[in-house]
Amino acid sequence: MPERASYDVELAHAVLDEAYVCHLGYVADGEPRVLPTLHARVDDTLYLHGSTGSRPLLAARDGGLPVCVAVTVIDGLVLARSQFNHSANYRSVVVHGTARLVEDEVERANAFAALVDKVAPGRAADSRPPDRKELAQTALLAVPLREVSTKVRTGEPKDDAQDADLPHWAGVVPLRLTRELPVPAEALAVLLPEYLRPERDAWHSPATLRGRHVTLEPLDHAHAPELFEALDDAAVWTHLTSPRPASAAGMAALVAAALADPDRVPFVQREPATGRLIGSTSYYAPNPVSRSVAIGHTMMGRPWWRTGVNTESKLMLLRHAFDTLGALRVEWHTDVRNERSQRAIERLGAQREGILRAHRRRPDGSQRDTVLYSMIADEWPAARDRLAAALEAGGVSCSVSPTP
Protein backbone atom coordinates (compact mmCIF):
# COMPACT_ATOMS: atom_id res chain seq x y z
CA MET A 1 0.00 0.00 0.00
CA PRO A 2 1.87 3.09 -1.21
CA GLU A 3 0.07 5.38 1.24
CA ARG A 4 1.95 3.73 4.09
CA ALA A 5 5.34 4.69 2.67
CA SER A 6 7.47 7.36 4.29
CA TYR A 7 10.87 8.84 3.51
CA ASP A 8 11.29 10.55 6.87
CA VAL A 9 14.93 10.20 7.96
CA GLU A 10 14.29 10.26 11.71
CA LEU A 11 11.59 7.60 11.44
CA ALA A 12 13.85 5.31 9.40
CA HIS A 13 16.72 5.78 11.86
CA ALA A 14 14.43 5.04 14.83
CA VAL A 15 13.24 1.75 13.34
CA LEU A 16 16.77 0.66 12.43
CA ASP A 17 17.97 1.51 15.94
CA GLU A 18 15.13 -0.34 17.66
CA ALA A 19 15.28 -3.58 15.67
CA TYR A 20 17.89 -6.20 16.60
CA VAL A 21 17.89 -8.34 13.45
CA CYS A 22 17.92 -7.41 9.77
CA HIS A 23 17.73 -9.55 6.63
CA LEU A 24 20.37 -9.07 3.98
CA GLY A 25 19.35 -9.88 0.42
CA TYR A 26 21.76 -10.21 -2.52
CA VAL A 27 22.26 -12.23 -5.70
CA ALA A 28 24.91 -14.95 -5.95
CA ASP A 29 25.49 -17.06 -9.08
CA GLY A 30 22.27 -15.71 -10.52
CA GLU A 31 20.18 -16.83 -7.54
CA PRO A 32 18.70 -14.78 -4.68
CA ARG A 33 20.07 -15.17 -1.17
CA VAL A 34 18.65 -13.78 2.12
CA LEU A 35 20.57 -13.98 5.38
CA PRO A 36 19.56 -12.84 8.88
CA THR A 37 22.28 -10.90 10.64
CA LEU A 38 23.00 -8.23 13.24
CA HIS A 39 23.25 -4.58 12.36
CA ALA A 40 23.99 -1.19 13.85
CA ARG A 41 23.60 2.33 12.52
CA VAL A 42 26.28 4.99 12.85
CA ASP A 43 25.04 8.31 11.47
CA ASP A 44 24.05 7.64 7.82
CA THR A 45 25.74 4.24 7.48
CA LEU A 46 24.32 0.81 8.29
CA TYR A 47 26.90 -1.78 9.40
CA LEU A 48 26.28 -5.51 9.02
CA HIS A 49 28.15 -8.24 10.87
CA GLY A 50 29.42 -11.38 9.13
CA SER A 51 32.17 -13.95 8.70
CA THR A 52 35.17 -13.24 6.50
CA GLY A 53 34.47 -16.47 4.63
CA SER A 54 30.83 -15.75 3.82
CA ARG A 55 29.83 -15.24 0.18
CA PRO A 56 28.49 -11.66 0.49
CA LEU A 57 31.62 -10.51 2.32
CA LEU A 58 33.85 -12.03 -0.32
CA ALA A 59 31.77 -10.52 -3.13
CA ALA A 60 31.93 -7.07 -1.54
CA ARG A 61 35.73 -6.94 -1.90
CA ASP A 62 35.63 -6.14 -5.62
CA GLY A 63 33.71 -2.95 -6.28
CA GLY A 64 30.98 -3.59 -3.71
CA LEU A 65 27.92 -5.82 -3.57
CA PRO A 66 24.39 -4.66 -4.55
CA VAL A 67 22.16 -5.48 -1.58
CA CYS A 68 18.72 -5.00 -0.14
CA VAL A 69 18.40 -4.84 3.67
CA ALA A 70 15.02 -5.22 5.40
CA VAL A 71 14.11 -4.56 9.03
CA THR A 72 10.67 -5.01 10.62
CA VAL A 73 9.29 -4.27 14.08
CA ILE A 74 5.90 -5.87 14.81
CA ASP A 75 3.71 -3.77 17.13
CA GLY A 76 0.50 -5.77 17.10
CA LEU A 77 -1.69 -8.40 15.46
CA VAL A 78 -4.79 -6.98 13.83
CA LEU A 79 -7.87 -9.22 13.92
CA ALA A 80 -10.68 -8.23 11.60
CA ARG A 81 -14.15 -9.68 11.24
CA SER A 82 -13.18 -11.10 7.86
CA GLN A 83 -10.11 -13.25 7.31
CA PHE A 84 -9.08 -11.20 4.31
CA ASN A 85 -8.67 -8.02 6.37
CA HIS A 86 -6.52 -9.53 9.12
CA SER A 87 -3.20 -7.70 9.29
CA ALA A 88 -0.41 -6.52 11.57
CA ASN A 89 0.65 -3.18 12.95
CA TYR A 90 4.29 -2.75 12.07
CA ARG A 91 7.17 -0.44 11.22
CA SER A 92 9.53 -1.56 8.46
CA VAL A 93 12.54 -0.17 6.65
CA VAL A 94 13.98 -1.27 3.32
CA VAL A 95 17.45 -0.13 2.29
CA HIS A 96 18.88 -0.48 -1.22
CA GLY A 97 22.52 0.20 -1.95
CA THR A 98 25.98 -1.13 -2.67
CA ALA A 99 27.66 -2.66 0.33
CA ARG A 100 31.39 -2.18 0.75
CA LEU A 101 33.80 -4.14 2.93
CA VAL A 102 35.00 -2.07 5.90
CA GLU A 103 38.80 -2.18 6.00
CA ASP A 104 39.84 1.05 7.72
CA GLU A 105 40.96 0.11 11.27
CA VAL A 106 39.38 3.11 12.98
CA GLU A 107 36.07 2.63 11.18
CA ARG A 108 36.11 -1.09 11.99
CA ALA A 109 36.72 -0.39 15.68
CA ASN A 110 33.90 2.15 15.82
CA ALA A 111 31.53 -0.18 13.96
CA PHE A 112 32.34 -3.12 16.27
CA ALA A 113 31.70 -0.91 19.30
CA ALA A 114 28.37 0.19 17.80
CA LEU A 115 27.34 -3.44 17.24
CA VAL A 116 28.22 -4.36 20.84
CA ASP A 117 26.43 -1.31 22.24
CA LYS A 118 23.40 -2.27 20.12
CA VAL A 119 23.15 -5.40 22.27
CA ALA A 120 23.34 -3.33 25.47
CA PRO A 121 24.20 0.37 25.55
CA GLY A 122 27.44 0.77 27.51
CA ARG A 123 28.59 -2.79 26.86
CA ALA A 124 31.47 -1.86 24.54
CA ALA A 125 33.22 -0.05 27.40
CA ASP A 126 32.49 -2.95 29.75
CA SER A 127 33.90 -5.87 27.73
CA ARG A 128 37.14 -6.96 26.09
CA PRO A 129 37.56 -5.66 22.54
CA PRO A 130 38.36 -8.18 19.76
CA ASP A 131 41.98 -9.27 19.38
CA ARG A 132 43.79 -9.62 16.05
CA LYS A 133 42.69 -13.24 15.54
CA GLU A 134 39.05 -12.39 16.20
CA LEU A 135 39.24 -9.37 13.93
CA ALA A 136 40.65 -11.56 11.16
CA GLN A 137 37.66 -13.91 11.49
CA THR A 138 35.04 -11.19 11.38
CA ALA A 139 34.06 -8.87 8.58
CA LEU A 140 31.82 -5.85 8.35
CA LEU A 141 29.75 -4.54 5.48
CA ALA A 142 28.83 -0.86 5.26
CA VAL A 143 25.68 0.21 3.42
CA PRO A 144 25.04 3.94 2.89
CA LEU A 145 21.57 5.03 3.98
CA ARG A 146 20.69 6.87 0.77
CA GLU A 147 17.93 4.84 -0.85
CA VAL A 148 15.69 4.13 2.12
CA SER A 149 11.92 3.74 2.54
CA THR A 150 9.82 3.17 5.64
CA LYS A 151 6.32 1.73 5.88
CA VAL A 152 4.08 1.89 8.93
CA ARG A 153 0.68 0.43 9.75
CA THR A 154 -1.16 1.50 12.91
CA GLY A 155 -4.68 1.44 14.25
CA GLU A 156 -7.72 -0.79 14.19
CA PRO A 157 -8.80 -3.40 11.63
CA LYS A 158 -10.25 -2.04 8.43
CA ASP A 159 -13.34 -4.15 7.90
CA ASP A 160 -15.52 -3.76 4.85
CA ALA A 161 -18.85 -2.07 5.49
CA GLN A 162 -20.81 -5.26 4.80
CA ASP A 163 -18.85 -7.06 7.56
CA ALA A 164 -19.38 -4.45 10.29
CA ASP A 165 -22.30 -6.33 11.88
CA LEU A 166 -20.76 -9.82 11.81
CA PRO A 167 -20.70 -11.47 15.30
CA HIS A 168 -16.90 -11.85 15.41
CA TRP A 169 -14.48 -10.14 17.75
CA ALA A 170 -12.26 -7.57 16.08
CA GLY A 171 -9.39 -5.50 17.44
CA VAL A 172 -5.65 -5.41 18.04
CA VAL A 173 -3.42 -7.70 20.09
CA PRO A 174 -0.45 -5.49 21.05
CA LEU A 175 3.02 -7.04 20.89
CA ARG A 176 6.27 -5.72 22.29
CA LEU A 177 9.78 -6.98 22.86
CA THR A 178 10.89 -6.48 26.46
CA ARG A 179 14.08 -7.16 28.39
CA GLU A 180 13.67 -9.40 31.41
CA LEU A 181 16.02 -9.78 34.37
CA PRO A 182 19.38 -11.04 33.05
CA VAL A 183 20.41 -14.59 34.02
CA PRO A 184 24.14 -14.79 34.88
CA ALA A 185 26.54 -17.38 33.56
CA GLU A 186 27.23 -20.26 35.94
CA ALA A 187 29.52 -19.43 38.88
CA LEU A 188 29.74 -15.77 37.85
CA ALA A 189 31.00 -13.57 40.69
CA VAL A 190 30.47 -10.21 38.95
CA LEU A 191 27.58 -7.98 39.97
CA LEU A 192 24.97 -7.11 37.36
CA PRO A 193 25.97 -3.83 35.63
CA GLU A 194 23.58 -0.95 36.05
CA TYR A 195 23.01 -0.69 32.29
CA LEU A 196 21.53 -4.23 32.26
CA ARG A 197 19.04 -3.65 35.06
CA PRO A 198 15.42 -3.54 33.86
CA GLU A 199 13.90 -0.08 33.77
CA ARG A 200 11.41 0.21 36.62
CA ASP A 201 9.75 2.99 38.54
CA ALA A 202 11.24 4.17 41.83
CA TRP A 203 8.84 2.00 43.84
CA HIS A 204 10.17 -1.17 42.21
CA SER A 205 13.88 -0.27 42.01
CA PRO A 206 16.29 -0.94 44.88
CA ALA A 207 18.54 1.98 45.77
CA THR A 208 21.82 1.83 47.68
CA LEU A 209 21.21 3.16 51.21
CA ARG A 210 24.22 3.89 53.43
CA GLY A 211 24.40 4.08 57.21
CA ARG A 212 27.03 3.85 59.94
CA HIS A 213 26.28 0.25 60.90
CA VAL A 214 25.01 -1.16 57.62
CA THR A 215 24.79 -0.51 53.89
CA LEU A 216 21.81 -1.76 51.89
CA GLU A 217 22.62 -2.70 48.28
CA PRO A 218 20.50 -4.25 45.51
CA LEU A 219 20.50 -8.05 45.78
CA ASP A 220 22.42 -9.84 43.02
CA HIS A 221 22.94 -13.45 41.92
CA ALA A 222 26.63 -13.06 42.82
CA HIS A 223 25.72 -12.55 46.49
CA ALA A 224 24.42 -16.11 46.98
CA PRO A 225 27.63 -17.84 48.23
CA GLU A 226 28.40 -15.14 50.81
CA LEU A 227 24.77 -14.97 51.93
CA PHE A 228 24.72 -18.73 52.45
CA GLU A 229 27.81 -18.46 54.65
CA ALA A 230 26.34 -15.60 56.71
CA LEU A 231 22.91 -17.22 57.18
CA ASP A 232 23.85 -20.90 57.61
CA ASP A 233 22.27 -21.11 61.05
CA ALA A 234 19.06 -22.94 61.91
CA ALA A 235 18.02 -20.17 64.32
CA VAL A 236 17.92 -17.66 61.46
CA TRP A 237 15.28 -19.67 59.61
CA THR A 238 12.98 -20.57 62.53
CA HIS A 239 10.11 -18.29 61.54
CA LEU A 240 10.82 -17.73 57.87
CA THR A 241 8.42 -18.88 55.17
CA SER A 242 11.27 -20.30 53.06
CA PRO A 243 13.04 -23.51 54.14
CA ARG A 244 16.67 -23.26 55.17
CA PRO A 245 18.90 -23.93 52.14
CA ALA A 246 21.28 -26.86 52.50
CA SER A 247 23.95 -25.45 50.20
CA ALA A 248 25.13 -22.38 48.34
CA ALA A 249 23.18 -23.71 45.34
CA GLY A 250 20.04 -23.72 47.45
CA MET A 251 20.69 -20.13 48.46
CA ALA A 252 21.26 -19.26 44.80
CA ALA A 253 17.78 -20.61 44.05
CA LEU A 254 16.26 -18.40 46.76
CA VAL A 255 18.15 -15.38 45.42
CA ALA A 256 16.96 -16.13 41.88
CA ALA A 257 13.37 -16.40 43.09
CA ALA A 258 13.62 -13.08 44.94
CA LEU A 259 15.04 -11.33 41.89
CA ALA A 260 12.37 -12.82 39.61
CA ASP A 261 9.50 -11.75 41.89
CA PRO A 262 7.97 -8.59 40.34
CA ASP A 263 6.32 -7.78 43.67
CA ARG A 264 9.59 -7.66 45.61
CA VAL A 265 12.50 -5.19 45.85
CA PRO A 266 15.34 -7.12 47.56
CA PHE A 267 18.49 -5.80 49.23
CA VAL A 268 21.56 -7.29 50.87
CA GLN A 269 22.90 -5.93 54.15
CA ARG A 270 26.64 -5.25 54.21
CA GLU A 271 28.77 -4.36 57.21
CA PRO A 272 30.67 -1.18 56.20
CA ALA A 273 33.66 -1.78 58.48
CA THR A 274 34.48 -5.23 57.10
CA GLY A 275 32.65 -5.32 53.78
CA ARG A 276 31.01 -8.61 54.78
CA LEU A 277 27.49 -9.51 53.73
CA ILE A 278 25.48 -10.16 56.88
CA GLY A 279 21.93 -10.60 55.64
CA SER A 280 19.09 -9.61 53.36
CA THR A 281 15.89 -7.59 53.57
CA SER A 282 13.24 -6.37 51.13
CA TYR A 283 10.43 -4.10 50.26
CA TYR A 284 7.48 -6.06 48.93
CA ALA A 285 3.99 -5.35 47.62
CA PRO A 286 4.96 -1.82 46.51
CA ASN A 287 1.89 0.08 45.32
CA PRO A 288 2.55 3.55 43.88
CA VAL A 289 -1.19 4.11 43.40
CA SER A 290 -2.14 3.62 47.06
CA ARG A 291 1.39 4.76 48.05
CA SER A 292 1.99 1.81 50.33
CA VAL A 293 4.77 -0.74 50.72
CA ALA A 294 5.71 -3.54 53.11
CA ILE A 295 9.07 -4.35 54.71
CA GLY A 296 10.12 -7.93 55.33
CA HIS A 297 11.89 -11.02 54.00
CA THR A 298 14.54 -10.08 56.56
CA MET A 299 17.34 -12.56 57.29
CA MET A 300 20.42 -11.61 59.28
CA GLY A 301 23.33 -13.59 60.70
CA ARG A 302 23.00 -14.25 64.43
CA PRO A 303 26.19 -12.31 65.42
CA TRP A 304 24.36 -9.11 64.37
CA TRP A 305 21.12 -9.74 66.26
CA ARG A 306 20.27 -7.09 68.85
CA THR A 307 22.84 -4.68 67.44
CA GLY A 308 22.27 -1.38 65.70
CA VAL A 309 22.27 -3.07 62.29
CA ASN A 310 18.62 -4.03 62.07
CA THR A 311 17.43 -0.78 63.63
CA GLU A 312 19.43 1.26 61.15
CA SER A 313 18.28 -0.92 58.25
CA LYS A 314 14.65 -0.31 59.14
CA LEU A 315 15.26 3.39 59.73
CA MET A 316 16.82 3.75 56.25
CA LEU A 317 14.02 1.74 54.62
CA LEU A 318 11.38 3.81 56.39
CA ARG A 319 13.12 7.07 55.47
CA HIS A 320 13.36 6.01 51.83
CA ALA A 321 9.70 4.90 51.79
CA PHE A 322 8.22 7.99 53.46
CA ASP A 323 10.65 10.77 52.51
CA THR A 324 11.79 9.66 49.02
CA LEU A 325 8.91 7.60 47.63
CA GLY A 326 6.22 9.60 49.41
CA ALA A 327 4.58 6.53 50.97
CA LEU A 328 1.45 7.02 53.05
CA ARG A 329 1.63 3.58 54.69
CA VAL A 330 4.29 0.98 55.50
CA GLU A 331 3.35 -2.53 56.62
CA TRP A 332 5.00 -5.48 58.35
CA HIS A 333 3.76 -9.07 58.56
CA THR A 334 5.08 -11.63 61.04
CA ASP A 335 4.28 -15.10 62.32
CA VAL A 336 1.97 -14.98 65.35
CA ARG A 337 4.44 -17.30 67.10
CA ASN A 338 7.40 -14.98 66.49
CA GLU A 339 7.12 -12.83 69.59
CA ARG A 340 10.66 -11.48 69.25
CA SER A 341 9.85 -9.97 65.87
CA GLN A 342 6.57 -8.55 67.14
CA ARG A 343 8.40 -6.71 69.92
CA ALA A 344 10.99 -5.48 67.41
CA ILE A 345 8.33 -4.04 65.12
CA GLU A 346 6.58 -2.37 68.02
CA ARG A 347 9.86 -0.76 69.11
CA LEU A 348 10.07 0.80 65.65
CA GLY A 349 6.81 2.60 66.40
CA ALA A 350 4.47 0.49 64.24
CA GLN A 351 0.89 -0.13 65.31
CA ARG A 352 -0.58 -3.61 65.58
CA GLU A 353 -3.72 -3.79 63.42
CA GLY A 354 -4.81 -7.39 63.86
CA ILE A 355 -4.29 -11.01 62.81
CA LEU A 356 -4.68 -12.46 59.33
CA ARG A 357 -5.87 -16.01 59.99
CA ALA A 358 -4.41 -18.95 58.02
CA HIS A 359 -2.57 -16.33 55.99
CA ARG A 360 0.49 -18.25 54.78
CA ARG A 361 1.88 -21.76 54.70
CA ARG A 362 4.97 -22.52 56.77
CA PRO A 363 7.80 -24.73 55.42
CA ASP A 364 6.50 -27.62 57.55
CA GLY A 365 3.11 -27.41 55.82
CA SER A 366 1.17 -25.84 58.69
CA GLN A 367 -0.91 -22.72 58.19
CA ARG A 368 0.46 -19.52 59.68
CA ASP A 369 -1.57 -16.82 61.36
CA THR A 370 0.06 -13.49 60.52
CA VAL A 371 0.19 -10.42 62.74
CA LEU A 372 -0.25 -7.23 60.71
CA TYR A 373 1.50 -4.01 61.72
CA SER A 374 1.60 -0.63 60.03
CA MET A 375 2.99 2.87 60.26
CA ILE A 376 1.36 5.77 58.44
CA ALA A 377 2.90 9.02 57.24
CA ASP A 378 1.49 11.05 60.15
CA GLU A 379 3.29 8.76 62.62
CA TRP A 380 6.60 8.74 60.77
CA PRO A 381 8.19 12.03 61.94
CA ALA A 382 7.96 11.12 65.63
CA ALA A 383 9.18 7.58 64.99
CA ARG A 384 12.04 8.87 62.82
CA ASP A 385 13.28 11.32 65.42
CA ARG A 386 13.02 8.82 68.27
CA LEU A 387 14.80 6.04 66.36
CA ALA A 388 17.52 8.33 65.03
CA ALA A 389 18.21 9.75 68.48
CA ALA A 390 18.25 6.32 70.11
CA LEU A 391 20.50 4.90 67.40
CA GLU A 392 22.89 7.84 67.78
CA ALA A 393 23.01 7.23 71.53
CA GLY A 394 23.43 3.50 71.05
CA GLY A 395 20.41 2.81 73.17
CA VAL A 396 18.13 0.98 70.74
CA SER A 397 18.45 -2.50 69.31
CA CYS A 398 15.75 -4.37 67.48
CA SER A 399 15.71 -8.07 66.84
CA VAL A 400 15.56 -9.36 63.31
CA SER A 401 12.18 -8.44 61.89
CA PRO A 402 9.90 -10.83 60.03
CA THR A 403 9.27 -12.10 56.60
CA PRO A 404 5.83 -11.83 55.06
pLDDT one-digit tens code per residue, 47-72: 998 776 666 666 677 778 999 999 99
Q: Is residue 363 part of a domain?
A: yes
Q: Is residue 382 part of a domain?
A: yes
The pLDDT value recorded for residue 56 is 65
Beta strands 31-42; 45-51: pairing state? antiparallel
Q: Which alpha helices (H) appear in 329-368, and where do they start and end? A: 339-348
The pLDDT value recorded for residue 23 is 96
Q: Kindly state whether residues 156 and 210 are assigned to the same domain.
A: no
Q: Is residue 231 part of a domain?
A: yes
In angstroms, the Cα distances linking 388 to 212, 317, 385, 391, 392 are: 12, 13, 5, 5, 6
The pLDDT value recorded for residue 401 is 46
Range of the domain at 12: 2-174
Q: Kindly state whether residues 152 and 283 are assigned to the same domain.
A: no
CB–CB of 175/74 below 8 Å? yes
Q: Kindly state whether residues 220 and 75 are assigned to the same domain.
A: no
Q: Kindly state whether residues 357 and 247 are assigned to the same domain.
A: yes
Q: Is residue 185 part of a domain?
A: no
- The pTM assigned to this predicted structure is 0.81
pLDDT, average across residues 101-125? 93
The pLDDT value recorded for residue 17 is 97
Q: What is the CATH number of the domain that holds 260?
A: 3.40.630.30
DSSP conformation class of 320: I
The pLDDT value recorded for residue 58 is 67
Q: Kindly state whether residues 151 and 237 are assigned to the same domain.
A: no
Q: Kindly state whether residues 169 and 220 are assigned to the same domain.
A: no
Does residue 266 surpass a pLDDT of 70?
Answer: yes
How do residues 193-232 score in pLDDT, each as one tens digit? Answer: 989 988 889 999 999 999 999 999 999 999 999 999 999 9
Q: Which residue, among 220, 293, 223, has the nearest Cα to 263 in the 3D structure?
A: 293
List the beta strands (DSSP E) in 271-317.
277-287, 292-300
Q: Kindly state whether residues 219 and 91 are assigned to the same domain.
A: no
Q: What is the CATH number of the domain that holds 66?
A: 2.30.110.10
Q: Is residue 313 part of a domain?
A: yes
Structural domain tally of the chain?
Answer: 2
